[in-house]
Amino acid sequence: MACFTTPKTNSLLGAAMALLLLAVPARADEPTPAMIDLAGKILADTNIRQSIDAVVPAMFAQLEHQIVVMHPEMRQVLRDTIIELMPGYSAGADSVLSEVTRSFASQMSEAELKATLAFFDSEAGKKYVAAQPAMIEQLTSSVTAWREGMSKDILPRLREAMKKKGYDF
């Protein structure tokens, strides 16, 4: 079984979903079937389904890697077993997509959903969707570098500040 995604890809997919779903204001009303349909089309246009579909193969690929490191002799049998088990877990993607679609539809009015769909159906919207993976890759890379820089700096400064207050660790 080929590795379908990497942990970095998983975090990119999760970030993309989170950015899309958190970028809309809250609404309390139950969405109509038309609103759910519009939300589904928006999620399709923004490749959310592919993000959801990638979760199970990524989990199995990570698990396979971890087990094969400890038990390389099991590689082929493990791979065959994973191939047998994966469809049962992948079937859950439909219910996740349904939940996400309903939630997304409840966040906007029908007019807002139509306007959003029009944007994603436009050339600019298509270009935005095409540019998103590179933007998310850059975001991930930049945040990772920033976080690593902070992690090297925070503990020594925290220790120094706590030492001034009489605590040494």
Burial (0-12, 13-18, 19+ Cβ within 10 Å), 96: middle
Asked if residue 130 belongs to a domain, the reply is no
Residue span of the structural domain in which 35 resides: 7-125
Asked if residue 153 belongs to a domain, the reply is no
Say what the pLDDT of residue 50 is.
Answer: 87
Asked if residue 111 belongs to a domain, the reply is yes
Task: State how many domains the chain has.
Answer: 1
Asked if residue 137 belongs to a domain, the reply is no
Asked if residue 80 belongs to a domain, the reply is yes
Burial (0-12, 13-18, 19+ Cβ within 10 Å), 62: middle
Say what the pLDDT of residue 51 is.
Answer: 87
* Positions of the chain with pLDDT lower than 70, given as ranges: 1-28
Tell me how far CA of residue 88 lies from CA of 56, 79, 83, 105, in angstroms: 10, 15, 10, 28
Say what the pLDDT of residue 3 is.
Answer: 43
Asked if residue 119 belongs to a domain, the reply is yes
Asked if residue 40 belongs to a domain, the reply is yes
Per-residue pLDDT reduced to its tens digit, 64-84: 999 999 999 999 999 999 999
Say what the pLDDT of residue 5 is.
Answer: 46
Say what the pLDDT of residue 21 is.
Answer: 56
Asked if residue 63 belongs to a domain, the reply is yes
